[in-house]
Amino acid sequence: MNKTVNQKAWFLVLPVLILVGFSAVIPLMTVVNYSVQDTFGNNVFFWAGLDWFRDMLESERMWNALGRQLVFSGIILAIEVPLGIFVALNMPKKGFWASFCLVLMSLPLLIPWNVVGTIWQIFGRVDIGLLGYTLAKLGISYNYTQDFIAAWATVIVMDVWHWTSLVALLAYAGLQSIPDAYYQAAKIDQASRWKVFRFIELPKMAGVLMIAILLRFMDSFMIYTEPFVVTGGGPGNATTFLSIDLVKMALGQFDLGPAAAFSLMYFLVILLISWVFYTVMTNLDKREGR
């Protein structure tokens, strides 16, 4: 990195600073404000200290939502990452068919999230949806609005459908950067397919895969719209993830204090993961010598 030191560069960053400051810092301060106060209505607030945080830490509801969230993120990572790598390895390398696959694979990524929910809500319906209808014909009892397993399966398959392409695209970009000479060398050494993957492709993909895993973890950690549209968080609370629970609390019940405390703790987790992400990114940049 041979960047010139220039403090005047601050002026170039200033617009971003003001704009994001307006749309991030002010709202966040509101949240902090609510998290330490209580109210009986009429906009009269009084100091509540760390009570809300204590409440939230003891609240079974939040821990349950967090537990469900972690299980969900864990499952989708366990499916999407290997599947994405597998798809990337099987993609055409160049030419029209490579572009063709890229475009079709990107399509689910560009669909508004509530439409993704709607698509799967329809697709899984036993009366009018292809998936639900087929399963029903096969004699499998499937009802995502009432059955716990079916609801989870639907939400997970939906997420796999929606986001596996992201992992695949990143892995593919990593694969593209491997020079042909590596494969030729492996061929001369008569390396097996597995060894080519293990010692050439995987190390070369490691950086992008790390990005893919972090992005998927982050985005699944704040998933809201898709499961909300499909299951509404149900049956019961079975698919009420962190964001769904938070919106329920903040906008539905207007429990400002607990919701704010919840938000801040949520945000701390995000901050931690962002830091890991940032470290990975900067290391990756350094390794590429940019």
Partner 1 sequence: MTDATTSAPGAASIPGDVSAAEPRAQSRRRFRPSGSVVVMTLYLVFLMLPIYWLINMSLKTNTEILGAFSLWPRDLTFANYVKILTDPSWYMGYVNSIIYVTLNTVISIAVALPAAYAFSRYSFMGDKHLFFWLLTNRMAPPAVFALPFFQLYSSVGLFDTHIAVALAHTLFNVPLAVWILEGFMRGVPREIDETAYLDGYSFPKFFVKIFMPLVASGVGVAAFFCFMFSWVELLLSRTLTSVDAKPIAATMTRTVSASGLDWGVLAAAGVLTIVPGALVIWFVRNYIAKGFALGRV
Binders of partner 1 among residues 149 to 178 (CB under 8 A) are: 161, 165-166, 169-170, 172-174
The reply to whether 60 sits near partner 1 by the rule CB under 8 A is: no
Spatial distance between the Cα atoms of 275 and 269, rounded to a whole number of angstroms: 10
The piece of 71-79, 122-130, 144-152, 230-238 that touches partner 1 (CB under 8 A) is 122-130
Spatial distance between the Cα atoms of 188 and 197, rounded to a whole number of angstroms: 15
Segment 181 to 240, residues that bind partner 1, using CB under 8 A: 183, 187, 193, 196, 208, 211-212, 215, 218, 221-222, 224-225
How many CB atoms are closer than 10 A to CB 79? 16
Give the CB-side neighbour count of residue 282, counting CA atoms within 13 A: 6
Q: How far is the CB of 192 from partner 1 (least distance, A)?
A: 11
Q: Which two tokens stand for residue 107?
A: 């399509």
The piece of 38-46, 54-62, 70-78, 249-257 that touches partner 1 (CB under 8 A) is 249-257
For partner 1, the closer CB: 63 or 254: 254
Binding mask 67-106 for partner 1 (x = CB under 8 A): -------------------xx-xxxxxxxxx-x-xxxxxx
Give the count of residues interacting with partner 1 (CB under 8 A): 110
Segment 268 to 287, residues that bind partner 1, using CB under 8 A: 270-271, 273-275, 277-278, 281, 284-285
For partner 1, the closer CB: 118 or 143: 118
Q: How far is the CB of 16 from partner 1 (least distance, A)?
A: 4
Spatial distance between the Cα atoms of 289 and 283, rounded to a whole number of angstroms: 10
Helix, strand, or coil (residue 37): strand
Please give the torsion angle defined by the CA atoms of residues 225, 229, 232 and 238, in that order, rounded to the nearest 10 degrees: -70
For partner 1, the closer CB: 8 or 40: 8
Burial class, 88, CB count within 10 angstroms (exposed 0-12 / middle 13-18 / buried 19+): buried
Q: What are residue 91's phi and psi, to 5 degrees?
A: -75, 145
